[in-house]
Amino acid sequence: MIIPPPLRITFRAFVATIVPEAVSLDEPHWADLERVVEATLAARPRSLQRQLRLLLRGIQWLPVLRYSRTFSSLDRVRQAHFLSYLQDHPIQLVRKGFFGLRTLALLGYYGRPEAARAIGYAADARGWEAFE
């Protein structure tokens, strides 16, 4: 398990801030999203997996310095404000980590078959030829 249960609440809050529609996911759909992300991360080096866990811990606890609350306990506006800060952070490594995690959030949400159908995504092995 790459994202352990204590960090899942942070990951889910992050995903719901990046993809507001994720707030309405039920437990089976969250599990699908997390399976997509875990499968993607399983192919990555352990060092990257550790960095991801460290980033999630930072995202959870750094807001305490400003808001006296953890990330997952903030309202959506403050969560978005904090993530905006990370997105534009002066340290490139922080920005890189944010965008990597953001990519995983989008992959997990839109990589689910239900989400693909909802947005009309119909991938075909024939590529554009399938639409001619």
Cβ atoms 29, 92 nearer than 8 A: no
Nearest to 99 by CA among 87, 107, 83, 82: 87
pLDDT in tens, the chain (132 residues): 799 999 999 999 999 999 999 999 999 999 999 999 999 999 999 999 999 999 999 999 999 999 999 999 999 999 999 999 999 999 999 999 999 999 999 999 998 888 877 777 766 677 777 666
Domain range for 109: 5-131
Contacts of 82-91 with C-beta under 8 Å, sequence gap 24+, read 83/14, 83/17, 83/18, 83/59, 86/59
Q: Model's pTM, two decimal places?
A: 0.88
Helix H or strand E encompassing 53 = helix 46-61
Residue linked to tokens 């866990």: 53
Q: Which residues, 6 or more positions from 49, have their beta carbon under 8 angstroms from its beta carbon?
A: 2, 41
- The domain total for the chain is 1
